[in-house]
Amino acid sequence: MNSSYVIGVDYGTDSVRSIIVDVKDGQEVASAVFYYPRWKDGLYCNAAQSRFRQHPDDYVEGLETTIRQCLQQAGATVASHIRAISVDTTGSTPVAVDETGTPLALTPGFRDNPNAMFVLWKDHTALKEAAEINATAATFEENYLRFVGGIYSSEWFWAKLLHILRTDEAVRNATYSWVEHCDWIPFLLCGGKHLRELKRGICSAGHKALFAEEFGGLPPDAFFTAIDPLLKGFTQRLFTRTYTSGEAAGHLCPEWAERLGLPTSVVIGIGAFDAHMGAVGGQIEPYHLSKVMGTSTCDMLVAPLDEMKHTLVKGICGQVPGSVIPGMMGMEAGQSAFGDAYAWFSNVLAWPLQQLLPSSSLIDAATAEKLCKETSGRLLTELARQAAQIAPEEHSELSIDWLNGRRTPDADQSLKGTLTGLNLASDAPRIFRTVAESTCFGAKAIVERFEREGVPVKGLIGIGGVAKKSAFIMQMMADVMNMPIRIHRSEQTCALGAAMFAATAAGLFARVEDAMETMGQGFEVTYEPDIHRAGIYENRYRKYKALGAFTAKLTID
């Protein structure tokens, strides 16, 4: 084991990151990041329509570029001892494929068709379809939604599939099946030539596709046909078996071995979603909520199967045996906008810079561009610095964090954000403060739901970009929750989790828990709650819930 290395690949919303990790101690020996060029240019997306699509070429180019860069950094000796590769991705981010398992956007006639591309997790174009799935499920004696919190979301597998089938006849006629991003990348690396060779992970299958042992796999065809006849027979082209991320999908195929400069003996692990592998990279513990905080949040909690018994948590994003750690119940929740909420306000403030500076008669265009970039880049840091100096008050500005809908509790992507309590003293730092506060209140609502449903939350683990970069928001999180939050040391927790699963899939560890213990990097700081502020936030949280109920009523009406 002293000369064994593994590669963890983490596909995020804006970029893909790869790291090479030494199995004996979890130390990162190389890393590389690739920003998706088509996504960066805003191609194939329409925020006004909540349409967010990503071209598979961004994913393929990023995979090859980052791994090759990592291998170049690490050197030939390390490269010769790479044992395995595992991948995590955002999700639910599915794509229409043909019978060979090729995304339609990589086939003639569909290269620039957004409906033939990966439908990103944050795409909410399937609101109508999700509502129909929920309505149909209510008419069945068997509750096929009980393991996904009782409510199906427009962010998930079946709603997105139905929307694409209804929207685009050409794509519908060419679609053989529907595949999650986290399942497709291992299939690609293994050189799969037919969809029957593709191994689906229990993570994506259970949390988004309604796969459960209690149903004998997927719900019956009659359920999907009742939703829409377009779904008739579709389950026959999906899957009947799933795998945990500790298992192998296969080995690196000759084509990708040549492209990457690695041997075909390299094991490819079963894929999973970023939060699930990130929770492992962040050394999750039973009943500790692991919060992956980035553009959105994904909150993971694991518990021993025998202790869960018949407990069903309403309004979360699913509870699936083995989806995080084999042999334990994996439970997922989250917020549809977290870092995205801060980015939204930053973009609002940056509007004059972006729109007026380029036409200024006082400076040249090149200087205007540099000034805009510099100022925009500093906005969030300065807002957080000044907002941190403002003490919480009972009657200050108040907001709701549903800028991209609500994921948990009780998924409803049609909901909108709210900002109230404004006065003539409501400046940018104060408004930013209430936006940040609302995201912490949204996090508290998730903990409250778990505990109300009989699942205790004994601690908080913070991972991801916001957790690492914003002491202001993390201290507020501890105060709002009235609970300490530990911040994991790793800069690339999701990729590190993928590396741990790669080592397990390669047989270097018998269990992923052993990989966590050996390769885990520990915690760098703990934010302790301020008792005085916690009391103020408790009162403001009650107002947040009342404002949320009012906002929801307005949306429904």
Q: Max Cα separation, the chain?
A: 71
**Cβ atoms of 160 and 209 closer than 8 Å:** no
Distance CA(411)–CA(314), nearest Å, equals 10
| pLDDT score of 557 | 60
Specify the domain boundaries for CATH 3.30.420.40 within the chain. Answer: 5-282+491-521, 339-489+524-556
Q: Decide: 501 and 277 in contact? Cβ < 8 Å.
A: yes
Residue 468's nearest CA partner among 335, 293, 284 is 293
What's the gap between Cα 543 and its chain centre?
Answer: 29
Q: What SS3 class is residue 357?
A: helix
State both tokens at 538: 């408790």
Q: What CATH architecture does domain 5-282+491-521 belong to? A: 2-Layer Sandwich (3.30)
* Beta strands per DSSP E along 281-384: 288-293, 297-304, 319-321, 328-335
Handedness of CA 80, 84, 90, 94 (dihedral sign): positive
Predicted model pTM: 0.92
β pairing state of 118-119 and 177-180: unpaired
Strand 5-11 versus strand 53-54 pairing type = unpaired
pLDDT of residue 451: 97
Beta bridge partners of 399: 419
| 286 burial type by CB count under 10 A (0-12 exposed, 13-18 middle, 19+ buried) | middle
Could you give the angle at the alpha carbon of 477 between the alpha carbons of 547 and 412, nearest 5°? 40
**Number of neighbours of residue 454 by Cβ within 10 angstroms:** 11
Residue 309: predicted pLDDT: 83
Give the residues across from 331 on adjacent strands: 301, 319
| pLDDT tens, per residue, the chain with 557 residues | 458 999 999 999 999 999 999 999 999 999 999 999 999 999 999 999 999 999 999 999 999 999 999 999 999 999 999 999 999 999 999 999 999 999 999 999 999 999 999 999 999 999 999 999 999 999 999 999 999 999 999 999 999 999 999 999 999 999 999 999 999 999 999 999 999 999 999 999 999 999 999 999 999 999 999 999 999 999 999 999 999 999 999 999 999 999 999 999 999 999 999 999 999 999 999 999 999 998 899 999 999 999 998 899 999 999 999 999 999 999 999 999 999 999 999 999 999 999 999 999 999 999 999 999 999 999 999 999 999 999 999 999 999 999 999 999 999 989 999 999 999 999 999 999 999 999 999 999 999 999 999 999 999 999 988 999 999 999 999 999 999 999 999 989 999 999 999 999 999 999 999 999 999 999 999 999 999 999 999 999 999 999 999 999 987 76
Strands (E) located in 446-498: 459-463, 485-488
What pLDDT is recorded for position 1? 46
CATH 1.10.1060.10 given to domain 339-489+524-556 = no
Angle between helices 471-481 and 531-556 (to 10 degrees): 90
Q: How far apart are CA 124 and CA 183, in angstroms?
A: 21
Residue 333, token pair as written in the block? 């929740």
